[in-house]
Structure 1
Amino acid sequence: MKKIYTLIATAFMIAFCGCAGTTPAAEAGMKVEKEVATYKIAAYSDLESTKSKLTGAGFEIVGTYKTDSGTSVLYTNAQMKAMANKENRGLAAVGRLLVDDERKQISIANPIYFGKAFMQKEYNHATSAASLSALEKAFGPSKDSADKWEFDGLAGYHFMVGMPYYEDMTVVGEGATADLVAKAKAAKGTTAVVKLSDDRYVAFVSLDRRTNGFVKKIGTQNGEILPWAVLIEGGKAKALSAKYFIAISYPLLTMSEFMTIATVPGAVENDLKKIFK
């Protein structure tokens, strides 16, 4: 969060909030802006037109999910899956965009922003940049969202000292990979289960309706944060810490806004554990 934190922040604030970490400089020769937009905003098209544009651009649509302001669309392609088919990197295999019927716009989760955050030292700029280029060609000129973060800080992002990093995932289930996949597929509201290899899948599951309500409080414009992603590999079902994923998806939130959803991280974990118990 782009704020100056005081030394007298309450213990509650410290328990939930945070700031960015530091990471090595951008890869040599890589042409990226110092600050990278979290989302790219394109002209509005309805859901069916959006799906047609995605498939026309060479993407596979793996699922859609109704949000409070429109529909979240999940997509992938062979290059994205190959890039992310590594331990703890599978979440980068699937991109997200929001058909925002309320604001009459398309909000695309920037593949460069989330690619760098999720792939970290294994980030492949060629793949992420190619995905963004294909999306912008399909949807026309786009503008940067107000939400953004420094590129060099994305790989080591965390919200505050003591707060979780990308790699601090929560294990929400254990067992044979096939059994965990079966539980994900059987869960009510599951949008997609994407196979990356025989022992690596990414599932997109629905949280409890009350848990999902946090998006209304902090901004439906970034509603593609839902459905929640779970990485299944090595006999474990793992999810990003909600404190991490919400923060990196909403990098402009204030402390007071975070305080309004203080119970959400625990609720997310409980909802996911119910699915994989």
Structure 2
Amino acid sequence: MKKFLTLIFSVTALTFCGCAGKSTQAQASSSEPSGDVSAYLQGAYVSVADSEAKLTAAGFEVLSKFKSVKEGKTIVFTCPTLKKEAAKPNRANIAVMKLFVDDQEKTISFSNPVYFGKAYMQDDYNHATFSAVKAKLEGAFPGLKNSEDKMEFDDLAGFHFTLGMPYYEDTKVLGEGSNEELLAKLKNYKKGKGLAYELKISDDTTLVGYSVGRGTQRFVKKIGRANAGLLPWPIVVSGGKATMLQAEYYIAMNYPLLGMMQFATIASVPGDVIKDLKKPFK
């Protein structure tokens, strides 16, 4: 009886991502991790086209294929579970996950739904929900391994890089006006060349992926192309404001092994990101 109930739970959990009926060997868990959690799930090379096909077959929706670094692309994707969680107040950033396909190094790297789920959902985090999304990725891409980039699970919700640095909730306002006006500005600036994706989460909230300037974007080569999947930059349009996660937070969250000396080599980047992303709203 106990085994039967366990099986029922596993099947139910795996349907959270809107993918019922698709088999996988990976299983979701309701028990939160103890100790470190990897920021990425890494594996052997799969082409962009084949990666997109695998994601689609597993029930995910591909939103964008973005050139984040030379010979490397970020595939941005979502699913019903992520969109449902993102519809909760101040949780829009969790609406998408990223897959970085590195044509140069012949590897792939997924953002770990458990890692970013805990960071972005904070007290609203439900482990069974995000473990189920992770299990679907592991089922679609067998052989994924945990990255060396990791952080203590219990530290993720309250993370900031160091004293005086911003937290998740310390967002930067890029522009104000009606949601419609703000989205129109993003679409019209330079004929929309910087707009990587647009995902409506609710009647009042839209998540947009936007490109920072070419010069700014080069910082990923300085601190590690393997994590270039943090691009394009997410912008939340909600309640008459366009906001972004502060660069000091977002970069450090995506590069958990980043040291103070390494961060100093890109000291101008946070300011450059703000300048780049404010331009469409002038």
Which shows bigger deviation, 246-255 or 106-115?
246-255
Partners of 1:190 and 1:210 lie apart in 2 by 17
User: Higher relative CO (CA 8 A, sep ≥ 6), structure 1 or 2?
Assistant: 1
**8 Å contact from structure 1 (residues 185, 193) kept in 2:** no
In the alignment, structure 1 segments of 5+ residues that lack a partner are 1-28
- 1:250 aligned to 237, 240, 255, which one? 255
Within 5 Å, give how 1:146-165 maps onto structure 2: 146-165=148-167
Aligned to 2:147: 145
Partners of 1:76 and 1:102 lie apart in 2 by 25
Partners of 2:107 and 2:162 lie apart in 1 by 32
**Runs of 4+ with deviation above 4 angstroms:** none
1:79 Cα deviation after fit = 1.2
1:181 Cα deviation after fit = 1.5
**Equivalent AA in structure 2 for residue 45 of structure 1:** V
**8 Å contact from structure 1 (residues 83, 127) kept in 2:** no
Report the TM-score, using the length of structure 2 for normalisation: 0.86
Q: Do residues 220 (structure 1) and 225 (structure 2) align?
A: yes
- 1:130 aligned to 119, 129, 132, which one? 132
**8 Å contact from structure 1 (residues 159, 247) kept in 2:** yes
Aligned to 1:35: 36
Deviations 1:155-194, CA, capped at 9 Å, x for gaps: 0000111110000000001100111112223332211010
Partners of 1:189 and 1:177 lie apart in 2 by 18
Partners of 2:75 and 2:222 lie apart in 1 by 21
Partners of 2:120 and 2:261 lie apart in 1 by 27
Partners of 1:88 and 1:275 lie apart in 2 by 23
Which shows bigger deviation, 218-227 or 186-195?
186-195
- 1:92 aligned to 85, 91, 94, which one? 94
Is the partner of 2:75 in helix, strand or coil? Answer: strand
**8 Å contact from structure 1 (residues 46, 99) kept in 2:** yes
Aligned to 1:48: 49
**Equivalent AA in structure 1 for residue 230 of structure 2:** I
Q: Percent identity?
A: 49
1:221 Cα deviation after fit = 0.5
Partners of 1:121 and 1:81 lie apart in 2 by 17
In the alignment, structure 2 segments of 5+ residues that lack a partner are 1-29
Q: Give me the CA root mean square deviation.
A: 1.1
Within 5 Å, give how 1:64-143 maps onto structure 2: 64-68=65-69, 69-143=71-145
Partners of 2:243 and 2:128 lie apart in 1 by 27
**Equivalent AA in structure 1 for residue 277 of structure 2:** L
**Equivalent AA in structure 1 for residue 181 of structure 2:** D
- 1:276 aligned to 259, 267, 281, which one? 281
**Equivalent AA in structure 2 for residue 96 of structure 1:** K
Deviations 1:177-226, CA, capped at 9 Å, x for gaps: 11111222333221101000111000000111001011111010001010
Report the TM-score, using the length of structure 1 for normalisation: 0.88
1:276 Cα deviation after fit = 2.0
Partners of 2:180 and 2:127 lie apart in 1 by 32
Aligned to 2:21: none
**8 Å contact from structure 1 (residues 184, 193) kept in 2:** no
1:43 Cα deviation after fit = 1.9
Partners of 1:133 and 1:260 lie apart in 2 by 37
